[in-house]
Amino acid sequence: MKLKTTTMSEYELMQSTELVWCESDDRFIYIERTKSEITGLNFMQGDDFEYFKKEWCVSDPKLTKFYHAIHRYLSGSTEMDRINQSFWAYFEHRNSLDAVI
């Protein structure tokens, strides 16, 4: 009897969730992917991981839509750089909307 050997290249990751600590921006990031495409994002400033897992590990549809609208215009050298740039831009955008009377 001959056994078939499998390798990771025979498998395709279909869906994943990432919890990322970004020290330089002092935030936790939640990323959902289907295949390699980002399908959900959220973040929380600060380093309380237990609170982050409890309250922030869900996709924010408005933030995710904003990211998809602007990500190709961002200048970060890595995907994570561009994600963080989009979060800062989203934060500024939301603050400017809140300031309008």
Q: State residue 101's pLDDT score.
A: 59
Range of the domain at 36: 13-99
3 within a domain of the structure (yes/no):
no
Q: What is the mean pLDDT of residues 41-59?
A: 97
- Whole-number Cα distances in Å, 26 to 11, 45, 85, 98, 101: 35, 6, 13, 23, 31
52 within a domain of the structure (yes/no):
yes
DSSP state of 5: P
Cβ contact 9:25 at 8 Å = no
Distance CA 13, CA 90 (A): 29
CB atoms near residue 5 (< 10 Å): 6
8 within a domain of the structure (yes/no):
no
38 within a domain of the structure (yes/no):
yes
4 within a domain of the structure (yes/no):
no
Number of domains, the chain: 1
pLDDT tens digit string along 3-30? 555 565 677 788 999 999 999 999 999 9
